[in-house]
Structures are given as structure tokens and as C-alpha cells.
């Protein structure tokens, strides 16, 4: 295996993709529902991974929430899906990225959560 393949395997083993639903004070509804990817949790990102991510056009950060970054990570990690911490989470993010509607009131929150429960 080449160095990039090993680095990508390391990233895949530490990647946790999911649809996150959190209570928050930032939004009027009190909830934040979004796809996200945590790479190394709170741990420091290894230098090899930082360099690899930079070559792929990704910033080195522990949490990715922007759609272009998530799409790029999905493209990179798809062949390594079974090595991720939550393979189903990767599928969920792939299926719902860009399709989750924004929530403006509590009824929207309930609808989005019901849709996610029905699919997940």
C-alpha cells in the first residue's frame, strides 16, 4: 500500500459520520439538525493526515459540517466505508446531505425528525 492509502485508512478508522440533532440556543427552534463528520474527535490530527487533507482541498479540522467538505470526504471514504466507526452513519450522511430542509419552527423539527426516524 502507498502512504496515501495508509493515511486514508487511518482517517477512515477515525471518521464518524452522522446526522446530528442537538439542542442549541443559536437557532430559534432550539434544535440544530445537520449532517456532520468528526474525524479524530478531540485528538490532535496526525501530520500525515493534515498533509493528505490539504492535498485533497480540505482544511484540517476535527468536525466537518459544510456540504462541499462532506461531499469530498464521502468521495474519499466510500471505498473504506466498512473501516469507519459507523458505516451506517456514512450511508445516512450520503443519503441526506443537501436534502435536509431547514427548520424554522417546532413543527418543522418534528417533521424532519420523523422523516429521519422512518429512513434510519
Residue 97 pLDDT > 90: no
Residue ranges of domains in the chain, CATH in brackets:
3-119 (3.10.28.10)
State residue 73's pLDDT score. 95
User: What does pTM read for this prediction?
Assistant: 0.82
Nearest to 20, CA basis, from 96, 108, 105, 119: 96
Partner residues linked to 19 by β-bridges: 35
As a whole-number percent, the residues of the chain with pLDDT over 70 amount to 96
pLDDT digits over 10-58, tens only? 999 999 999 888 887 777 777 888 899 999 988 899 999 999 999 999 9
Let me know the angle formed at the C-alpha of 39 by 74 and 62, rounded to the nearest 5 degrees.
115
Amino acid at each position: 500500500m502507498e502512504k496515501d492509502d495508509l493515511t486514508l485508512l487511518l482517517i477512515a478508522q477515525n471518521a464518524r459520520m452522522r446526522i446530528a440533532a442537538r439542542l442549541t440556543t443559536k437557532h430559534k427552534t432550539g434544535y440544530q439538525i445537520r449532517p456532520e463528520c468528526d474525524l479524530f474527535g478531540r485528538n490532535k490530527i496526525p501530520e500525515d493526515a493534515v498533509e493528505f487533507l490539504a492535498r485533497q482541498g480540505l482544511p484540517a479540522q476535527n468536525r466537518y459540517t459544510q456540504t462541499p467538505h462532506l461531499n469530498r470526504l464521502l468521495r474519499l471514504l466510500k471505498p473504506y466505508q466498512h473501516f469507519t466507526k459507523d458505516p451506517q452513519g456514512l450511508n445516512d450522511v450520503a443519503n441526506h446531505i443537501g436534502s435536509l430542509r431547514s427548520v424554522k419552527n417546532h413543527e418543522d423539527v418534528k417533521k424532519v425528525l420523523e422523516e429521519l426516524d422512518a429512513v434510519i
